[in-house]
Amino acid sequence: MSINYTERIPNNVDLGSNRILQRALEHWQPEFLNWWQELGPRDFQVADVYLRTATSVDAKGWATYGFVRMPEYRWGIFLADRDPNRKIGFGDSYGQDVWQQIPGEYRATLRRLIVTQGDTEPASVEQQRMLGHTAPSLYDLRNLFQVNVEEGRHLWAMVYLLHAYFGRDGREEAEELLERHSGDADKPRILGTFNEPIRDWLSFFMFTYFTDRDGKFQLKSLAESSFDPLARTCSFMLTEEAHHMFVGDTGINRVTKRTLEVMKELNTDDPVAIRKAGAIDLPTVQRYLNFWFSSSLDLFGSEQSSNAASYFANGLKGRPDETQYEDHIARESTFELGVPDGSGGVKTEQIAMRNAMNEVTRGSYVRDCDLGVKRWNRLIEKAGHSFRLSLPSTRFRRNIGAWAGVPTDPQGNPISQDEFDRGKATWLPSEADQAYILSLMHGVYEPGKMAAWIAPPDRGINNNPVDYEYVRMA
């Protein structure tokens, strides 16, 4: 169904035919806008921003571009088209018809899954709200705001499901999604990582590369759900999400590129000299990567999880790209897991495959993360340097799961707490690193100009040149 933009809430779910739902969402809309004004991007609400807006849910030509003031962005409800023949793709009810309504016994669980996903969307907008002041270019500023308005739309996506399928409980959850705030002492966001403010653009690029990619894999798992409206909502969100990871991928690429230029000009790889020239030395990039990758890994949950097993058995949340697996029931198979043996070593455990679903998803995520690392390394290799970026082990610096609080080096070898504390300065961003990165952060708002620590992008947005005026300040 095509998107209707004549209604107050743009949608492709024929909202006009359900007056009660429409009124409930129209009641929530001003509360959302208040939240956006209060906790969305700070001080740029009257700027004209070159943004894309969804105009269809087809893979081809789904968006249009134009200048919009962010509070006037047309947030709406867009679901991928319904496949009337879609069947349940995994778990105990494999092959049966998918659900258009929620079976009573799964109501509470599905609500929790939707709320947890929904909570991350506005949280990231809150975390990033100060970044507009220090954008390295207008191109980057525009990308930040594009990500922000789309996370706002993802909140709409989850709020629609809560309102449409969960009655009064759903309406209350939708209110609370605007009441919890990132970093709030009394009402924090649900997941830990989403309560840390993002103060600098290197962290923003790491966040969009690693943490938005966690979002991609969560959405992929939910896009497999037997609850068809959830699956269709998440399918379309994935289309939008791709740009967020592009921002992270190309951001880290451009930082690396600029650093390599400086290394060539100065003929040195000495971090002190590179910093003097205003660029970011590669070991510092690696330390930020270690931090954000490891904190994003925790978002997948424990390696062994009975919740994950029941989500899978009941068809609520599957594996990303479920069709790539041969066995969609996974009742008999097992998974080999490396866990601490309690005396400084590692032992292998065989666990039921269904209990290992978090780890299976995490494994797919890690392989996906590695593709970007390989691309960045090609730049470094081409420039003739032996330094390589790398993902640390999934055991490194974990706070959740079997390796939580177990000190290891970045290769995943168990070490003593003392060794870990000594190694920290080389493995994770130190206070001095953070102070240096923060010292680089100044807004660059002249069209085409870039901050000294980042190379320009290869191309602009929607065939516009890099020096296009992507954001027009009021």
Select 25 or 125, whichever has its Cβ closest to Fe ion: 125
Which range touches Fe ion (CB under 5 A), out of 22-30, 83-91, 238-246, 307-315?
Answer: 238-246
- For the bound state, the minimum distance from the C-beta of residue 303 to Fe ion, rounded and expressed in Å, comes to 25
CB of 76 to Fe ion, least distance (A): 15
Binding Fe ion (rule: CB under 5 A), the pick from 212, 228, 298, 433 is: 212
- Minimum CB separation of residue 215 from Fe ion in Å reads 5
**Which of the residues 59 through 88 are near Fe ion (CB under 5 A)?**
none
Q: Is 380 within 8 Å of 389 (Cβ atoms)?
A: yes
Residue 96: both structure tokens together: 């049966």
Q: Which is nearer to Fe ion, 91 or 118 (CB)?
A: 118
Q: According to CB under 5 A, which residues from 176 to 205 bind Fe ion?
A: none
Instruction: Return the DSSP state at 63.
Output: E
Token pair listed for 229: 């409206």
| Nearest distance from C-beta of residue 281 to Fe ion, angstroms | 28
Smallest separation, CB 233 to Fe ion (Å): 11
Residue 244 interacts with Fe ion (CB under 5 A): yes or no = yes
C-alpha span between 74 and 21 (Å, rounded)? 18
Shorter beta-carbon distance to Fe ion: residue 182 or 286: 182
Least separation in angstroms between CB 240 and Fe ion: 7
The one segment of 149-157, 325-333, 351-359, 381-389 that binds Fe ion by CB under 5 A: 149-157
SS (H, E, C) 170-205: HHHHHHHHHHCCCCCCCCCCCCHHHHCCCCCHHHHH
Structure-token match 């740029």, residue found: 44
Residue 323 token pair: 């069709």
Q: Which is nearer to Fe ion, 242 or 425 (CB)?
A: 242
List, in order, residues 6 or more apart from 3 with CB less than 8 Å away. 10, 11, 12, 54, 55, 56, 57, 76, 78
Q: How do 346-352 and 334-340 pair as beta strands?
A: antiparallel
239's CB contacts (< 8 A; 6+ apart) are 57, 59, 62
What is the contact mask toward Fe ion in residues 262 to 301, using x (rule: CB under 5 A)?
A: ----------------------------------------
For the record, the structure tokens of 152 come out as 């706002």
DSSP state of 448: T
Give the residue with the Cβ less far from Fe ion, 113 or 406.
113
Cβ 238 to Fe ion, closest distance in Å?
Answer: 9
**Separation of alpha carbons 389 and 431, rounded Å:** 21
249 is a site residue for Fe ion (CB under 5 A): no
3-state DSSP assignment of residue 393: coil
Distance of CA 58 to the CA centre of its chain: 22
What number of H helices and E strands is found in the chain? 13, 5
Which residue, 248 or 407, has its beta carbon nearer to Fe ion? 248
Question: Residue 154, interface with Fe ion (CB under 5 A)?
Answer: yes
Q: Where are the alpha helices (DSSP H) in 337-465?
A: 357-382, 417-427, 431-440
Among residues 157 and 353, whose Cβ is nearest to Fe ion?
Answer: 157
Q: What are phi and psi of 4, to 5 degrees?
A: -95, 110
Q: Which is nearer to Fe ion, 123 or 357 (CB)?
A: 123
What's at 347, amino acid-wise?
Answer: K
Complex with Fe ion: residue 244 or 287, whichever CB lies closer:
244
Residues 386-425 that bind Fe ion (CB under 5 A): none
Q: x-or-dash pattern for Fe ion, window 14-53, by CB under 5 A?
A: ----------------------------------------
CB of 153 to Fe ion, least distance (A): 8
# of chain residues touching Fe ion (CB under 5 A) = 6
| Smallest separation, CB 208 to Fe ion (Å) | 7
In the complex, minimum distance from the CB of residue 194 to Fe ion, in angstroms, rounded to a whole number: 11
**Residue owning tokens 């008999």:** 332
Q: How is the chain split among helix, strand and coil, in percent rounded to 5?
A: 50, 10, 40
Site residues (CB under 5 A) for Fe ion, limited to 102-121: 121
Task: Note the residues at the interface with Fe ion (CB under 5 A).
Answer: 121, 151, 154, 212, 241, 244
